[in-house]
Amino acid sequence: MIAVAQPTTTWYLLLSALLFAIGVVGVLVRRNPLVLFMCIELMLNAVNLSFVAFAKRMGDIGGESTVFFVMVVAAAEVVVGLGIVVSILRRTPNATTDDLSELKG
Amino acid sequence: MMQLFVFIVAGAMVLGGAVGVVLRTHPVHAALSLVLTLFGIAVLFIAQDAQFLAAVEVIVYAGAIVVLFLFVIMLLGIDRAEDLHVEPFKIQRPVALVIGAGLVSLLGIAVIASRQHPVPTVTPSQAVTDALADPHDGNIRALARDVFSDHVLAFELTSVLLVIAVVATVILARKPRKGETYITSGSAQ
């Protein structure tokens, strides 16, 4: 019987850190506003993953209920953000984030 | 063995999808890479006994949010590839990579250094403990006990938040009626 390493909480947290950093790099590099929102989703999911890992580690369900609320806030944020993107791109098609220096209509 | 295999496969899905979101030039491809990441996250949730959250992840994220992205992409007809070779600021990408690498190393050092710390003891309420003991649907029961007892006010407030978000989006995204203009200063429609 070979002793195989089991994935521990540390592994999940390291994966979550990698995912978060990829999201940060995406927000800093990409210029399409829609892709920026997707990268923000990546970061939110990284945090959700670490919340669930901690909930499992501590045997406390509170981390999972926090993830539940984070998902609600993420949904609301995407809805409002995409509404803003729609109204901006309707005025100036092919706008990149460099062009979005103002929110006024 | 099985858990290790699941972790490696799901982790590869998560990271591969995330890299795809950042690197794919076409917005539709980026959205589909995001779906890959979200499914990987859902698998990892199940591996950590968070079955309800895994289901919500697939339904809400992959089912609703990504579809919303695809709707906006197709509604606006901006489904053309972005040229990643255009680089407005020469230093932007190296700086972004340095920031990303620094973030990973800082977080990794923090995680590995704190491995030896004792786990703080959390004493959940008796109802949550009893619910968790149920072998069949303990996770959902415990989550429901927690959300609807300790966090019931926050739960009600999320409904207000969602209504506000929907109303705001409808107002933001509608076309102005004929003869109606938004308040503008300078740049007229």
CB contact under 8 A, B78 and A78: no
Confidence band (pLDDT; 50, 70, 90) for A102?
A: low
Nearest CA distance, B136 vs chain A (angstrom): 16
Of B53, B100, B162, the CB nearest to A67: B53
Mean pLDDT, chain A, integer:
86
B132-149 residue pLDDT tens = 776 677 788 888 888 998
Residue A95 has pLDDT above 80, yes or no: no
Q: Which residues of A touch B115 (CB under 8 A)?
A: 10
- Please tell me the predicted confidence (pLDDT) of residue B141: 86
Query: What string of H, E and C letters represents the secondary structure of B18-43?
Result: HHHHHHCCCHHHHHHHHHHHHHHHHH
- Please tell me the predicted confidence (pLDDT) of residue B185: 46
Q: Is A78 in the B-facing interface, judged by CB distances under 8 Å?
A: yes
Which residues of chain B are modeled with pLDDT < 70? Answer: 79, 82, 84-88, 124-125, 127, 131, 134-135, 178-189
A20-68 residue pLDDT tens = 999 999 999 888 888 999 999 999 999 999 999 998 888 888 889 999 9
B144: left (phi over 0), alpha (psi -120 to 50) or beta: alpha
CA distance A81 to A72: 14
Nearest CA in chain B to A47: B41
Cβ count within 10 A of residue A82: 23
- Please tell me the predicted confidence (pLDDT) of residue B79: 66
Give which of B58, B61, B64, B67 is closest to B28, Cα–Cα.
B67
